[in-house]
A and B are shown apart, each in its own frame.
Chain A
């Protein structure tokens, strides 16, 4: 059913810190800088923020601590436990909080020293944590990182549909081409299929080093308020058409019971978001598909119905995901090349695309003047972007989605 709140809320501010490996700062300092950048972008003051939402894995700072630094009196805040696919879900929760009258303007943030402190890849401070509960079924067998916990789904999908390392490498190649036009990207170097398949193995047969995202120190922020209030703010509003998730597969498990294990949560999230938005795949101009690994992109394009099950590799090989083609994906370079932010940077990028002021190497990008020359060191603004979609991933079993409009 179509959402009653369609286009009634907006993203009015976006901000991030530099993407680094070694910030030398606290997650508190990082968060404040990202929030300040988003507040400035929106034409607001810190004290105008009266709602806050964040997500973390025991590796971040609380909203109430930041309220001190912001001089803000909050009417609503929640700091949620969560990783990937939380960005989209928290945008939905921000709408809910405002709609319920609890607050007016919500800053959503994620702050993490994801390289220099708590590494999602499982090394660093997490590796020595005592094991209990469900972890007893995996860690004693040497499974610790995200890619290891997803790999059974990936390998099984390779068998079912004949996916090769080269197919996966093409995801990285596309995103690296996009990142080469992004001054903020950690890895701006364009890579080839050979570069990816010749990088060292992380997990056979589904992930080489260059199939994995870049652990990054960073903070990011997205500000949500009503479309009514957005009209008086600095930026051209970007409308939240629909949001869905975090949703799960039946039973919510990766692979212990339910099957097929190569079918991921987007299979359930996808039909609902297109219904809520009253739109179809053909309406989507740009996608942001959570690329923790090249494989998550393949699986999500299939699950969300941009292609049939088993044809994710062909969708990517067709070139449709490249800048200059019909529906570019992860135009900032995403997690594989721009930075790993737990999903925030791909919503931020789509917001910039919809505004028409992507921060590329075009000399006058600030005024929305772009060359549309997508060669290395050039433009990454897509022409005539009206509608974008984000597909968030937490695991094979959990995902979320967001559709934005100009």
Chain B
């Protein structure tokens, strides 16, 4: 049974976990995947056990580009989890992937939570974190075999205005 230790957390990613096991298996091969419905072809942000639009239980893991835009963010200066204390203040970002943005409804999108890391896989400086900035997926490989999808700032120009809370 795959149990990984990471930053003092025990992550139970078991084979019977049909919603999440494949996500982390793909990450080991440096692929970012989402679930794709085999009946209506729509992708979904949260893996889930059935399609929210057509209720089909038939799905496959579908590789996405790993490119996206920061949709929201938070900076955590006060870590609750002891293993994250040496990372503070660390950013956590909600990234909207390029695929299926604004579909099937206007405000829908495929959104993924991760840390925003710099080129050395350390937490990105707070002043560089902003809604609207472009990001790429990166894969954080651990010695114990676990790989976590993470994001890093891209060289691409943002499509629109960027925003971060002033003076923080």
Contacts and interface: CB of A to CB of B under 8 A. Distances in A.
Interface of A: 121-123, 127, 130-134, 136-145, 148, 151-153, 155-156, 158-159, 200-206, 251, 253, 255-261
Interface in B39-81: 44-46, 52, 71-81
B80 A127 contact: yes
Given A131-B12, A142-B92, A257 B110 contact: yes
Given A122-B80, A148-B80, A203-B74, A143 B92 contact: yes
B72 A141 contact: no
B108 A259 contact: yes
11 contacts: A134-B19, A141-B115, A142-B81, A151-B92, A152-B113, A201-B77, A202-B78, A203-B74, A204-B165, A205-B165, A257-B111
B145 interface: no
B165 A143 contact: no
Nearest to B87: A142
Contact of B168 (A136, A142, A204): A204
B131 A156 contact: yes
Interface string B87-102: 1011010100000000
B80 A140 contact: no
Contacts of A148: 74, 76, 80, 92
Given A130-B10, A140-B148, A159-B131, A257 B109 contact: yes
B48 to A, nearest CB: 9
B76 A203 contact: yes
A229 to B, nearest CB: 44
Interface in B14-29: 14, 17, 19-20, 23-24
B6 to A, nearest CB: 6
Nearest to B130: A159
A204 B115 contact: no
Contact of A130 (B3, B72, B75): B3
Contacts of B87: 142
Contact of A204 (B71, B74, B80): B74
Contact of A156 (B13, B71, B77, B115): B71
A254 to B, nearest CB: 9
Interface residues on B, range: 35 or more
A296 to B, nearest CB: 16
B13 A132 contact: yes
B111 A133 contact: no
A98 B164 CA distance: 52
Contacts of A142: 7, 76, 79, 81, 84, 87, 90, 92, 115
B75 A204 contact: yes
Nearest to B83: A142
Contacts of B168: 204-205
Contacts of A123: 80
A205 B131 CA distance: 12
A133 B11 CA distance: 10
A322 to B, nearest CB: 27
Given A153-B72, A204-B74, A257-B45, A121 B80 contact: yes
A166 B19 CA distance: 41
A241 to B, nearest CB: 33
Given A132-B11, A139-B9, 15 more contacts: A122-B81, A123-B80, A131-B12, A140-B148, A141-B92, A141-B114, A142-B81, A144-B80, A155-B72, A156-B71, A205-B74, A205-B75, A255-B111, A256-B46, A257-B45
Contact of A206 (B3, B9, B74, B107): B74
A158 B165 contact: yes
Contacts of A253: 45-46
A152 B74 contact: yes
A140 B6 contact: yes
B108 A258 contact: yes
Nearest to A132: B12
Nearest to B115: A141
A99 B105 CA distance: 40
B96 to A, nearest CB: 9
B108 A257 contact: yes
Nearest 10 A/B pairs, CB to CB: A259-B107, A205-B165, A256-B45, A152-B72, A151-B74, A204-B75, A132-B12, A144-B80, A256-B46, A122-B80
A138 B113 contact: yes
A133 B74 contact: no
B21 to A, nearest CB: 10
Contact of B113 (A143, A155, A258): A143
A131 B11 contact: yes
Contacts of B44: 257
Contacts of A121: 80
A136 B115 contact: no
Contacts of A206: 74
A257 B115 contact: no
A127 B82 contact: yes
Contact of A201 (B12, B14, B78): B78
A159 B76 contact: no
A122 to B, nearest CB: 4
B81 A159 contact: no
A228 B122 CA distance: 65
Contact of B107 (A141, A152, A200, A258): A258
Contact of B52 (A132, A144, A257): A257
